[in-house]
Amino acid sequence: MPGIDEVAQLAGVSTATVSRALSGRGHVSPATKERVAAAASELGYVVSSSASGLATGRTRNVGVVIPFLNRWFYGAVIEGAQRRLLSHGYDLTLYNLSGGGDERRSVFEHFLLRKRVDAVIAINLELTPDEVTRLLDIDKPVVGVGGPLTGVRTLSIDDVEVSRLATEHLVSLGHRRIAHIGGDVEDERDFHVPTNRREGYEAALEAVGIPVDPTLYAPCDFTLQGAYHAAKQLLGSPRNRPTAVFAASDEMAIGTILAARDMGLRVPDDLSVIGIDDHELAEFFGLTTVAQFPELQGELAVEILMDQLHPENRAHGSLNTPLPYELVVRGSTARHDPRAR
């Protein structure tokens, strides 16, 4: 198997330059990096991760902790993070913490605190001050996605404003009986997403003088199936039926559309529906939504980590970075026709 000396000889550079070019650590001109990469490829040279780890104290592996594995949003964030990590020459190890307290303690007290990862990305997981302190004390940088974490660089989206924007879109179309299918507060997890999205919905109504009707709020879990059953109950009474629904996620919005169709209601003629996410199926269903770009969230989290792992390239920024969002109008919302009621 060829060694680093042979790569250096073929590329016409020193072994130190080869090491910097292939590891991504230290400055190497783009032309030299390309020449080294071509030489390594021609010779079939592969960097030894174990040797690199012994020399640098790094594993070139990042741990990603999530509360759910089977939700589209988390998968999309992970996809963006993995793509960007690979471009920097890092691996990803995924830890699913849906199992509860004992599983979480095991991950933080054993896997993450030992030298198995160089850094941690926490996706929609509200780390405790003790968890953050223990990681930082042993020089493991942490980036949070989804909400503020004390003393940690974070990326967060303003769930109140996102929900306000979605509701304001329905109000602008002339709807006044606007329902909200939101997360169940009893099952509320980190960063209070269900509460914040309901707060934005109610604030948008109150801003234009529309009374908040508690009978137009239907809680469920953040799934298509849960929203389907909640929407059937919400739409079942012809006397109290809303003309529009703001769902707290796109999967919930799609469940609402399917429930409406099964009840003989036309979307958007009889019922306008809007969600949040810009799910991969949103365009297929013609769903109006507020996009929150989850893959970009993963990519940005990795770039912040790289700044912390490689101080020589560090770009100092604020402790919290607001995430972008954008209203995407499709065919599931339309102007309300009072004659239809």
CATH of the domain at 142: 3.40.50.2300
- Kindly state the tokens that stand for 117: 């990862």
**108, 85 Cβ separation under 8 angstroms:** no
Q: Which of 169, 279, 267 is nearest to 222 (CA)?
A: 279
Q: Is residue 52 part of a domain?
A: no
| DSSP state, residue 117 | -
Contact 51, 91 (CB under 8 A): no
Question: In total, how many domains does the chain have?
Answer: 3
In terms of average pLDDT, the best of 49-63, 126-140, 216-230, 309-323 is 216-230
Cα separation, 282 vs 270, whole angstroms: 19
What would you report as the CA-atom Rg of the chain, rounded to the nearest whole angstrom? 24
| Residues 15 and 103 placed together within one structural domain of the fold | no
Pair (14, 115) in one structural domain: no
According to the model, what pLDDT value does residue 4 have? 80
Question: Do both 176 and 219 map to the same domain?
Answer: yes
99 shares its domain with 205? no
**174 and 227, same domain (yes or no):** yes
**Residues 270, 301 within the same domain:** no
Q: Is residue 320 part of a domain?
A: no
d(CA 216, CA 233): 10
pTM: 0.80
My answer on whether 187 and 332 are in the same domain is: yes
End-to-end CA distance of the chain: 77
pLDDT given at position 54:
39
What's the pLDDT band for 257 if we cut at 50, 70, 90? very high
CA–CA dist 148, 156 (Å, integer): 7
pLDDT band for 30, please (50, 70, 90 cuts): confident
Rounded Cα distance between 291 and 289, Å, is 6
**Within a domain: residue 314?**
no
Domain that holds residue 212: 159-291+327-340
Of 8-12, 72-76, 146-150, the range with the highest mean pLDDT is 72-76
